[in-house]
Amino acid sequence: MERSRVAPHVGEKMTVPVYSVADRFASWERVVRRMEPGWGSDDFYPISAYGNDLDSRDALDRVMRALPDKAVEGPLGQLLARLDARFRAATLPDPERSLRPWVRPTTQRPEDELGEWWRRRPLRMPWAD
């Protein structure tokens, strides 16, 4: 499926799925780690990347809702719960949606239908480091 969305010369070089469930979890973990205190890196992280990362968390949510209950209640669900708890610990509620001018979901939905990750802001703004 992913190969069908890219040029043939790019698709033929793809050997593993780019958007696998494992990759989505790894991506969310990187975001969470980046938000946590004490994280340091010379990597440039623009605020636009944060919006993309929250969109990626939306995709992970869709994946989890498509899985059987047994999988959601098992190790995958537990891993996601731990990552989300770490994200909540590294962020604050943002009822004013202070980041919304720069960080917006790519799909149009009412605010009350967005995941909680859209209604929080990092304690430490990694794009300001």
Contact by Cβ (8 Å): 91, 120: yes
Per residue in 37-83, pLDDT tens?
A: 877 666 788 898 899 899 989 989 988 988 888 878 899 899 999 99
For 38: left if phi > 0, alpha if psi spans -120 to 50, otherwise beta; the answer is: left
Q: What is the DSSP letter of 127?
A: G
Per residue in 84-106, pLDDT tens?
A: 999 999 999 999 989 988 988 88
Task: Give the integer Cα–Cα distance in Å for 122 and 94.
Answer: 9
Helix residue ranges per DSSP H, the chain:
8-11, 21-35, 47-66, 69-73, 75-89
pLDDT above 90 (res 32): yes
Contact by Cβ (8 Å): 23, 2: no
Query: Which pTM was predicted?
Result: 0.81
Q: Angle at the Cα of 16 (from 15 to 18), degrees rounded to 5?
A: 120
In Å, how far from its chain's centre is CA 35?
A: 12
**In a 10 Å sphere around its CB, with 0-12 CB exposed, 13-18 middle and 19+ buried, how is residue 73 labelled?**
exposed
